Structure 1
Amino acid sequence: MEWLAFSIACVATIYFAIHYRGFRRGLMFVAGGVIALAAAAAIYFWNDNRQTEARRQIASKLIRLDQIRVLDAKLALGSFAEMSGTIVNRSDFELSGLTIKVVVSDCPRYKANYFDRFDDAQAPEPHGDATAPAQSQDHKAAPNPEHGPWEEYQKEQDGAQCGIVGEGVAHLYSIDVPKGQKRAFETHVTLPKLPEMKKWSWRYSIEGPIAKY
């Protein structure tokens, strides 16, 4: 029914535009007015967007990265990764939004039995008087006798096995944390599908804090 009414209106407009000069002139005025209004609206929105972007660029430089902290950060993996914590704003401006980059790693550990056996067989006997006073803070502390000499090497080997399996970001908009205050948050992290992991770990970094503008 609507299409029929629209078709009749179009046919009538064409008929009157062909047969009546005054109607054609009025139609031209209407079309010119519509074009002028559209051009004015386009200019207004273009100028408003330009000013908004300029304010945003200024706001992105008002808060330093070291002025924003995240406390008690937690990452829950599942069908959707969720990050939670508390944002602390130590700047002089109200925090409007920021981006948090999340990196997930899989860190399987070597079996330590081989190193333990090697330590037991090769570790040197401790020297010196067991009752000697402790070293002052100006000297290098003695190695912990409970750990073998290959512990650091083992840690390096374990670290070499850590591989990044996923990277993602969380965008926090309109969080509105006043200066000197803190606010809890919970947000979705856009992580890719993660493989089966043996012992995963994660880290995050704060990027792009924006002051309210």
Structure 2
Amino acid sequence: MVWLFLSVVLIVVVYLAVQFPAFRKAIWVCLAGLFVLVAVGVGWLYYVKIQEDKRAELSRRLINPDEIVFTDTVLGQSIGGLWRVKGNVTNRSSHELSGFTLKIVVRDCPVPGESFCTTIGEDEVSTYLSVPPSQTRAFEEQVTLRDMPESTKWGWTYIVQEVRGTLK
């Protein structure tokens, strides 16, 4: 129905443009104004994106991964076979911690003490929390570990992929 309405409007505009030169001139002025408006809008969106990217990059550089300490970190299954990682994070930097990303790696090590371990699952987990300088907060996030085979003796590790901070 909308297409029918737009088609009728287009036919009327073309008819008026053919019949009246002043209307044709007004259409050109409107199209030029619309073009300028779209160009300004695209320029503004580009500027906002650049500023956002700069802010995100600064956020990732404020705190080094070795300035945060994880304690009591455990990985376990919760209800319904879902996995959760939880623990405490201490911020030892001079900036507020706003979040971090951990890479969780689950391995099957059938023979303890040997280096033959097979990775059977991995996932990246991002959490957003506010930890002021020299303070500790608890965190808990869901981990997606799908299609993991049965393991003989599993173990897990985590790697800090990204640390985000905020200026106060």
Tell me how far 1:102 sits from its aligned partner.
0.8
Tell me how far 1:94 sits from its aligned partner.
1.0
Residue 47 of structure 2 corresponds to 47
Is 1:92–2:97 an aligned residue pair?
A: no
Residue 147 of structure 2 corresponds to 193
Aligned residue type for 1:94 = E
Is 1:184–2:138 an aligned residue pair?
A: yes
Tell me how far 1:164 sits from its aligned partner.
1.7
Is 1:15–2:8 an aligned residue pair?
A: no
Tell me how far 1:56 sits from its aligned partner.
2.4
Residue 101 of structure 1 corresponds to 103
Deviations 1:155-199 (A, max 9, x none): 5xx4233222222211224x2222222222222324342111111
CA distance in 1, matches of 2:104, 2:36: 49
Aligned residue type for 1:198 = T
More strand by share: 2
TM-score (norm 2): 0.86
Q: Report sequence identity in percent.
A: 33
State the structure with bigger RCO (CA 8 A, min sep 6), 1 or 2: 1
Structure 1 gaps, min length 5: 110-154
Deviations 1:51-85 (A, max 9, x none): 22223222322211121122221212464432122
Size of the aligned set, in residue pairs, is 165
Q: Does the aligned pair in 2 maintain the 1:73–1:84 contact within 8 Å?
A: yes
CA distance in 1, matches of 2:11, 2:151: 69
CA distance in 2, matches of 1:51, 1:4: 42
Residue 138 of structure 1 corresponds to none
Residue 125 of structure 2 corresponds to 170
Asked which structure has the greater CA Rg, the reply is: 1
CA distance in 1, matches of 2:81, 2:88: 23
Residue aligned with 1:72, SS = strand
Residue 115 of structure 1 corresponds to none
Mapping for residues 113-124 of structure 1, pairs under 5 Å: none
Residue aligned with 1:202, SS = strand
CA distance in 2, matches of 1:39, 1:65: 41
CA RMSD, aligned part only?
2.0
Deviations 1:129-165 (A, max 9, x none): xxxxxxxxxxxxxxxxxxxxxxxxxx5xx42332222
Q: Does the aligned pair in 1 maintain the 2:62–2:166 contact within 8 Å?
A: no
CA distance in 2, matches of 1:45, 1:63: 29
TM-score (norm 1): 0.69
Structure 2 gaps, min length 5: none
CA distance in 2, matches of 1:161, 1:64: 32
Residue 166 of structure 2 corresponds to 212
Residue aligned with 1:60, SS = helix
